[in-house]
């Protein structure tokens, strides 16, 4: 038993390095996608202190809108632009109808409001586009679809899907773009000011409502990118919702307020999950992927309650 | 005018400390009990009992359980569904190990297992707070759900992977199993729910309940005043999980007859959380009102189009239900973030000062 837990998996890793590398790559890609979902959470949490549960469903909704528009005869790129428009309308609507009246409420109320939004979007999405899974329009958007096999050593073989590489590249580009946006532009600075202190930001003439609409729009764009990537790997369906829950351990691992935290957290969860499933999962009957992420996050939290990169929690009486 | 404390003098401490010290409250509660125990069984048909009243009472009990943890002790939990599942599976195992024992005792005992597991998952609450804790309870949710699927011992190696309730009799009545009459089930569920609600009403206004509320309002201050956080928080987790476990066991034994792991999924956790929030955090009456709203509204929505003579596909109705429920949740949060319990208080105040506006 002890041998199975502590020695055998490592022997396997050493014996079959190509398989191990393949597992690492799978973990990396899954991690990137978790990180993308978590990124949307972080954006909104930083700017408004709202824990946006609806981010996962926004991913599905964005993907569905894109595919649904294309199915109805809209050219792929036009559909993409229209979807961005839809996300902008959604962002404005959420700010106007949900967030503005709920200013200054305790965080659990805001959380419940976003869960209510989740229900609404699930119903709305299914109402408009139907509930069945859809194929993502990967080729029409000009994304690569093939795969390349690399030989390693004498008998090793790694297969990389091009779409995964594209996902990694897009994620990196998006994080860099967000970093530049936050640090160099006028709106980005206003966002950071709002994140620091709502009242102080108001007093120097920053419009909170405008900032929130922008931030929800940015989260919507991130959701769209995530939706395309996830959709290309599997189908676009509401089953993705359960994947979105995985973003939560990612989030607490990295800290609610940290963009690098979301990335690092995503990678830790992605690697941990795949390696755990393939090397240790068999010992307990498999399927550990569904909860391993939460247990990893739980263990991290016991040592660092504020997450890896989160701001220190100081309690006063 | 209609509802007032003034003029109701108490001559003993006992009368002053009674659960319902005001006459009008006593009349109201007596009327509700009369309706629940006499009027509904006398006039309701089987459909009303099985698809509205029984689930409503079970969900109300689960909402009370979560309310103890979230509303009174301030620990946000998203693992309610899994704790209910623990109760259900424990009750199932107990009845198959001890086939001769009284099934209601088994249902009540199954909560103990759920309480133990709840306390274990409550341990991180000492270091982790707020939304972070919500994510650790998600760990409980997904881990326990996985256990229900992957540990065949829990469902007696049944090939379908579901638990099926055996037939049990009590005092000559069939209480569980497919042949049990809705009316029998209704009385069992009603008695357990009312009993636990009465018990909790008293626990919550006593020392234990007050120490939970101190922890909720400010845990450090409570600690300085001599409330031990470890015991208090773990007790809240245990009591809450006990109640949820009993509710979960009742759900399969007296309502569904058979359950799969997916019956106790994260959806159920959210549903219970909605009931608690919409009903009002920290209010037992609110738990009942929230459960009524969240459970009965979708059932009504299902029948409204048919009653109006509009012919819509069942699928469309389901999607529309999702939309309407989501929109209503947001609407109620905006209009009254403190839930129906606050609306009831406002109504009482209006009754007090009527016919004057204030």
Residue with token string 């990537």: A229
Name the token pair of B154.
Answer: 């829990």
Name the token pair of B23.
Answer: 């006459």
- The gap from C-alpha A169 to its chain's centroid, in whole angstroms, comes to 15
> Chain A contacts of B218, Cβ < 8 Å?
317
CATH code for residues A2-303: 1.10.3470
Inter-chain touch A116–B221, beta carbons under 8 Å: no
Residue with token string 């005018």: B1
- Give the pLDDT score at B153: 84
Instruction: Report the distance separating Cα B284 and Cα B193, nearest Å.
Output: 12
Inter-chain touch A301–B131, beta carbons under 8 Å: no
Closest CA to B148 of B110, B78, B93: B93
Give chain A's length. 317
> Chain A contacts of B146, Cβ < 8 Å?
287-288, 290-291
- Between A117, A285, A301, which is nearest B132 by CB? A301
The string of DSSP letters for B110-172 reads HHHHHHHHHHHHHGGGGT--HHHHHHHHHHHHHHHHHHHHH-GGGGTT-TTS-EEPPPEEETT
Minimum distance, in Å, between the CA of residue B273 and any CA atom of chain A: 9
Minimum distance, in Å, between the CA of residue B338 and any CA atom of chain A: 9
Inter-chain touch B322–A111, beta carbons under 8 Å: no
> Chain A contacts of B76, Cβ < 8 Å?
108
When scoring B79, B85, B135, B224 by the number of chain A Cβ atoms within 10 A, the one with the most, hence best to mutate, is B135
Highest mean pLDDT among A151-160, A264-273, B192-201: B192-201
* Mean pLDDT (whole number) for B199-206: 92
Inter-chain touch A115–B333, beta carbons under 8 Å: no
Helix/strand/coil for A249: helix
Alpha-carbon torsion (A289, A60, B76, B281), positive or negative: negative
Residue B192 CB neighbours (<10 A):
21
**In Å, what is the CA distance from A48 to each residue of A42, A105, A245, A311, B163?**
10, 12, 21, 16, 45
* Mean pLDDT (whole number) for B269-275: 89
- Give the pLDDT score at A317: 61
The torsion angles phi and psi of A109, rounded to 5 degrees, stand at: -70, -45
Closest CA to A122 of B299, B325, B141: B325
Q: What residue segments make up the domains of chain A, in order of their start?
A: 2-303
| pLDDT, mean over chain B | 86
* Mean pLDDT (whole number) for A216-222: 89
* Mean pLDDT (whole number) for A207-227: 87
By the 8 A CB rule, do B58 and B250 touch? yes
Minimum distance, in Å, between the CA of residue A91 and any CA atom of chain B: 16
Inter-chain touch B142–A290, beta carbons under 8 Å: yes
Give tens-digit pLDDT for B59-99.
999 999 999 999 899 888 888 999 999 999 999 899 888 88
- Residue A271: pLDDT above 90? no
Any residues with CB less than 8 A from the CB of A19 and at least 6 apart, and which?
Answer: A12
By the 8 A CB rule, do A230 and A61 touch? no
Give tens-digit pLDDT for A21-73.
788 888 888 888 888 888 888 888 877 778 888 888 888 888 888 888 888 87
Half-sphere exposure of A74 (CA within 13 A, CB side): 15
Kindly state the percentage of chain A with pLDDT values over 70.
85
Minimum distance, in Å, between the CA of residue B323 and any CA atom of chain A: 4
Inter-chain touch A295–B337, beta carbons under 8 Å: no
Instruction: Report the distance separating Cα B134 and Cα B130, nearest Å.
Output: 7
* Mean pLDDT (whole number) for A276-289: 73
DSSP state of A158: E
Give tens-digit pLDDT for A78-131.
888 888 999 999 989 888 888 888 877 777 788 888 888 888 888 888 888 776
Going by pLDDT thresholds of 50, 70 and 90, the confidence category of residue A152 is low
Instruction: Report the distance separating Cα B56 and Cα A116, nearest Å.
Output: 21
């Amino acid at each position: 038993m002890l041998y199975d837990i502590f020695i055998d998996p490592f022997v396997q890793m050493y014996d079959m390095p190509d398989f191990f590398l393949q597992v690492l790559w799978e973990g990396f890609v899954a991690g990137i996608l978790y990180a993308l979902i978590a990124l949307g959470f972080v954006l909104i949490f930083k700017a408004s202190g709202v824990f946006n549960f609806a981010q996962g469903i926004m991913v599905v909704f964005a993907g569905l809108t894109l595919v649904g528009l294309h199915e109805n005869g809209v050219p792929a790129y036009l559909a993409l632009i229209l979807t961005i428009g839809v996300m902008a309308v959604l962002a404005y609507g959420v700010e106007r109808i949900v967030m503005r009246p709920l200013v200054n409420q305790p965080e659990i109320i805001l959380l419940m409001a976003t869960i209510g939004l989740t229900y609404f979007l699930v119903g709305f999405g299914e109402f408009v586009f139907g509930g069945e899974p859809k194929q993502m329009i990967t080729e029409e958007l000009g994304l690569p679809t093939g795969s390349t096999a690399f030989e390693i050593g004498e008998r090793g073989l790694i297969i990389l899907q091009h779409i995964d590489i594209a996902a990694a590249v897009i994620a990196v580009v998006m994080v860099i773009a967000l970093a530049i946006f936050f640090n160099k532009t006028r709106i980005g600075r206003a966002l950071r000011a709002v994140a620091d202190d709502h009242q102080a930001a108001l007093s120097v003439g920053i419009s909170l409502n405008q900032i929130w609409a922008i931030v929800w729009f940015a989260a919507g764009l991130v959701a769209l990118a995530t939706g395309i990537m996830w959709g290309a790997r599997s189908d676009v369906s509401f089953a993705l919702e359960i994947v979105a829950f995985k973003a939560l351990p990612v989030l607490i691992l990295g800290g609610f307020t940290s963009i690098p935290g979301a990335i690092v957290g995503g990678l830790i969860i992605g690697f941990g999950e795949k390696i755990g499933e393939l090397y240790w999962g068999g010992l307990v009957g498999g399927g550990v992927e569904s909860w391993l992420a939460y247990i990893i996050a739980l263990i991290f939290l016991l040592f660092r309650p504020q997450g890896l990169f989160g701001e220190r929690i100081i309690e006063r009486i | 005018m209609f509802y007032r404390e003034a003029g109701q003098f108490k001559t003993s401490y006992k009368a002053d400390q009674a659960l319902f010290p005001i006459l009008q409250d006593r009349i109201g509660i007596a009327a509700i009990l009369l309706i629940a125990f006499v009027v509904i069984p006398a006039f309701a048909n089987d459909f009303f009992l099985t698809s509205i009243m029984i689930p409503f009472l079970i969900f109300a009990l689960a909402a009370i359980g979560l309310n103890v943890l979230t509303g009174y002790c301030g620990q946000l939990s998203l693992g309610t569904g899994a704790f209910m599942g623990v109760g259900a599976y424990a009750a199932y195992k107990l009845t198959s190990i001890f086939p001769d024992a009284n099934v209601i005792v088994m249902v009540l005992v199954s909560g103990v297992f759920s309480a133990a597991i709840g306390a274990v998952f409550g341990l991180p609450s000492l270091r982790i707070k707020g939304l972070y804790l919500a994510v650790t309870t998600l760990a409980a949710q997904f881990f326990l759900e996985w256990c229900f699927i992957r540990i065949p011992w829990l469902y007696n190696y049944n090939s379908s992977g579901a638990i099926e309730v055996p037939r049990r009799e009590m005092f000559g009545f069939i209480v569980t199993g497919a042949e049990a009459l809705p009316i029998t089930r209704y009385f069992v569920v009603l008695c357990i729910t009312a009993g636990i609600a009465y018990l909790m009403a008293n626990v919550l206004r006593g020392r234990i309940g007050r120490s939970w509320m101190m922890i909720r309002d400010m845990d450090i201050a409570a600690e300085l005043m001599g409330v031990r956080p470890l015991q208090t928080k773990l007790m809240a987790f245990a009591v809450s999980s006990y109640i949820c476990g009993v509710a979960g066991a009742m759900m399969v034994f007296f309502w569904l007859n058979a359950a799969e792991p997916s019956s106790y999924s994260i959806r159920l956790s959210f549903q219970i959380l909605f009931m608690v929030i919409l009903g009002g955090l920290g209010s037992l009456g609110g738990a009942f009102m929230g459960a009524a709203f969240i459970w009965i509204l979708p059932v009504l929505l299902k029948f409204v189009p048919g009653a109006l003579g509009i012919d819509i596909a069942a699928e469309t109705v389901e999607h529309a239900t999702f939309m309407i429920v989501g929109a209503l949740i947001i609407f109620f949060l905006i209009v009254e973030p403190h839930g129906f319990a606050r609306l009831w208080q406002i109504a009482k105040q209006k009754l007090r000062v009527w016919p004057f506006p204030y």
